[in-house]
C-alpha cells in the first residue's frame, strides 16, 4: 500500500506542474499613442538565445537602445515582421539572458504599425496604433 501511495503522490505532483514559460513576448505603451509620443516597447525573453526585434520605420523614428542587450539597430526594407513596411531591425551581438528589456521609439506617422520580437524560432508581435 505504501508503494502505491508513493506512485499516486508522484502522479499528482507531476500533473500539477506549471505550464512552460514564455519564450518571447513584446508589448508597447502607450497603445494607442499620439503622434510624437515616445512609445516604450518591452521585450520579455525566456531563454538564453539571440534576440531580434523589428519596429516599423514608417511608424517610428530610429529606436533608442534602452536596456536591450549588446547589439545594434539597422535599417532594412520590408520584412514580414513589420507587415512589409521598412523596418528598424535590432540584433544582439551575443545570446541574451532571460529577462525583460525595454527601449523607446518616437511615433512619426498616424496609422497601425507592427513591432515583432524573435528568439530562436518563437516570435511575438504587437500592433501599435498611432492617432
Which domain CATH number covers 63?
Answer: 2.60.40.1510
| Within a domain: 75 | yes
C-alpha cell at 53: 526585434
Where is pLDDT greater, at 5 or 80? 80
| Within a domain: 14 | no
pLDDT the model gives residue 22: 84
With 80 as the cut, is the pLDDT of residue 115 above it? Answer: yes
Strands (E), 7-107: 24-29, 38-45, 51-56, 71-76, 87-92, 99-106
pLDDT the model gives residue 11: 33
| Within a domain: 3 | no
| Within a domain: 1 | no
| Within a domain: 8 | no
% of the chain beyond a pLDDT of 90: 83
| Within a domain: 56 | yes
3-state SS class at 55: strand
With 80 as the cut, is the pLDDT of residue 3 above it? Answer: no
- Segment 14-27 mean pLDDT: 64
What is the total count of domains within the chain?
A: 1
- Segment 18-47 mean pLDDT: 91
| Within a domain: 111 | yes
Q: For residue range 62-99, list pLDDT tens digits in order.
A: 999 999 999 999 999 999 999 999 999 999 999 999 99
Task: Identify the band that residue 116 occupies on the pLDDT scale cut at 50, 70 and 90.
Answer: very high
- Domain with 97, as residue range(s), is 22-130
Q: What is the DSSP string of 93-126?
A: SSPBPSEEEEEEEEB-SSEEEEEEEEETTEEEEE
Kindly report the average pLDDT of the chain as a whole number. Answer: 88
pLDDT the model gives residue 21: 65
Q: Name 15's Cβ contacts closer than 8 Å, sequence gap at least 6.
A: none
The structure's pTM equals 0.84
Amino acid at each position: 500500500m505504501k508503494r502505491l501511495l508513493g506512485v499516486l503522490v508522484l502522479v499528482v505532483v507531476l500533473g500539477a506542474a506549471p505550464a512552460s514559460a514564455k519564450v518571447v513576448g513584446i508589448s508597447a505603451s502607450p497603445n494607442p499613442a499620439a503622434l510624437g509620443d515616445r512609445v516604450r516597447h518591452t521585450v520579455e525573453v525566456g531563454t538564453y538565445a539571440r534576440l531580434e526585434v523589428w519596429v516599423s520605420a514608417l511608424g517610428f523614428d530610429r529606436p533608442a537602445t534602452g536596456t536591450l542587450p549588446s547589439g545594434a539597430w539597422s535599417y532594412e526594407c520590408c520584412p514580414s515582421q513589420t507587415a512589409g513596411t521598412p523596418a528598424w531591425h535590432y540584433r544582439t551581438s551575443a545570446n541574451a539572458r532571460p529577462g525583460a528589456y525595454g527601449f523607446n521609439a518616437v511615433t512619426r506617422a498616424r496609422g497601425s504599425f507592427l513591432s515583432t520580437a524573435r528568439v530562436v524560432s518563437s516570435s511575438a508581435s504587437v500592433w501599435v496604433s498611432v492617432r
